[in-house]
Chains A and B, each alone.
Chain A
Amino acid sequence: QQQVKQSPQSLIVQKGGISIINCAYENTAFDYFPWYQQFPGKGPALLIAIRPDVSEKKEGRFTISFNKSAKQFSLHIMDSQPGDSATYFCAAISDNYGQNFVFGPGTRLSVLP
Chain B
Amino acid sequence: DGGITQSPKYLFRKEGQNVTLSCEQNLNHDAMYWYRQDPGQGLRLIYYSQIVNDFQKGDIAEGYSVSREKKESFPLTVTSAQKNPTAFYLCASTSRGAYGENGYTFGSGTRLTVV
Known: A51-B100, A99-B94, A100-B45. A43 touches B107 (CB 8 A): yes
Task: Tell me whether B109 and A32 are in contact (CB under 8 A).
Answer: no
- Is B48 part of the contact surface with A, judged by Cβ < 8 Å? yes
Task: Tell me whether A105 and B96 are in contact (CB under 8 A).
Answer: no
Task: Tell me whether B31 and A99 are in contact (CB under 8 A).
Answer: yes
- Is B74 part of the contact surface with A, judged by Cβ < 8 Å? no
Chain B residues within an 8 Å CB radius of A91: 103
| Mask of B58-101 contacts with A, CB within 8 angstroms, 1/0 | 10000000000000000000000000000000101010110110
Task: Tell me whether A9 and B40 are in contact (CB under 8 A).
Answer: yes
Chain A residues within an 8 Å CB radius of B92: 43
Closest Cβ of chain B: how far from A22's Cβ, in Å? 15
Task: Tell me whether A106 and B42 are in contact (CB under 8 A).
Answer: yes
Known: A99-B31, A99-B94, A100-B33. A89 touches B107 (CB 8 A): no
Task: Tell me whether A34 and B40 are in contact (CB under 8 A).
Answer: no
Known: A43-B90, A43-B108. A103 touches B42 (CB 8 A): yes
| Interface footprint category on A | 20 to 34
| Mask of A29-54 contacts with B, CB within 8 angstroms, 1/0 | 00010101000011111100101000
Known: A9-B40, A89-B42, A105-B40. A43 touches B109 (CB 8 A): yes
Chain A residues within an 8 Å CB radius of B11: none
Task: Tell me whether A105 and B42 are in contact (CB under 8 A).
Answer: yes
Closest Cβ of chain A: how far from B43's Cβ, in Å? 5
Looking across the interface, which residue of chain A has its beta carbon closest to that of B41? Answer: A105
25 contacts between A and B (CB under 8 A): A32-B100, A34-B103, A41-B108, A41-B109, A41-B111, A42-B109, A43-B4, A43-B6, A43-B90, A43-B92, A44-B43, A44-B90, A44-B104, A44-B106, A46-B103, A49-B103, A51-B100, A89-B43, A99-B48, A99-B96, A100-B33, A100-B48, A103-B43, A104-B42, A105-B41
Residue ranges of B at the interface with A (Cβ–Cβ < 8 Å): 4, 6, 31, 33, 40-43, 45, 48, 50, 58, 90, 92, 94, 96-97, 99-100, 102-109, 111
3 A-B pairs with least C-beta separation: A43-B106, A105-B42, A46-B103
